[in-house]
Copies of this chain bind each other. A is one copy, B any other.
Amino acid sequence: MSTRLIKGRKSVCLAKIENQNNRQVTFSKRRNGVFKKANELAAMTGAEVGIIVSSPGSKPYSFGHPNINEIMNKYVGEERPLSPSSPDIDEKYVQTFRKANSRKLNAQLNTLQDQLDFELSLKNKLNQMNKNVESQQEWFRGPIEKMNYTKASILKEELEDLLLKVKKYGTERGYGYENGKWKVE
């Protein structure tokens, strides 16, 4: 705890970070930051957001609300390749996007999410969450073609937030979270 070094952030420099390690660290932090912001944008305004990020030497990451592949397909035109000679992609994008508003999946998802948002109380949700457990593994092992990674990342992040809250305020109530493991008595 003999800390007396300078720690606060410096002003951001809009230039490529030279140091390889710092660059990687910044990439990870800021990639998550962008995804979090995108998630907030989608949640708060109902916007559709799709993001693809790739760093040299790193895996590609994607974010999509409601789903990266759906958004991508809208952008490039569903079920048909984008003509290599087609330069005016923005125009095409507008058209396909408007037409796609009536797509079945989106409508169903919107309905689902609206119901979840406005009809289920927290108490009901929590009670339902407390039902048994069996098929969880199957859920993770099933096809995930249409689910992008970032849904999971965001989910993870929010679980971590939740856990932080629990860790902070929950210990006095007889449970806690330490060293990556739950302690429930």
Among residues of B, the one whose C-beta sits closest to the C-beta of A159 is B158
Cβ contact within 8 Å between A30 and B44: yes
Copies of this chain assembled into the complex: 2
Q: How many residues of A contact B (CB 8 A)?
A: 134
Contact present for B45 and A34 (CB under 8 Å): no
A101 CB → nearest B CB, Å: 8
Which of the residues B14, B109, B150 comes within 8 Å of A40, measured between beta carbons? B14
A156 touches B55 (CB 8 A): no
Q: Please pick, from B30, B38, B89, B157, the residue contacting A117 in the complex, using a CB distance under 8 A.
A: B157
The 8 Å CB contact of A158, one of B34, B80, B129, is: B129
A97, A101, A112, A182, most chain B CB atoms within 10 A:
A112
A→B interface (CB under 8 Å): 12-17, 23-24, 26-27, 30-31, 33-34, 37-38, 40-41, 43-56, 58-60, 62, 66-69, 71-76, 79-85, 89-90, 93-94, 96-97, 100-101, 103-105, 108-109, 111-113, 115-136, 139-163, 165-167, 169-171, 173-184
**Most chain B CB within a 10 A radius of its CB, from A15, A46, A165, A171:** A165
Residues of B within 8 A of A53 (CB): 41, 47-50
**A156 is contacted by which of B34, B79, B89, B116 (Cβ under 8 Å)?**
B116
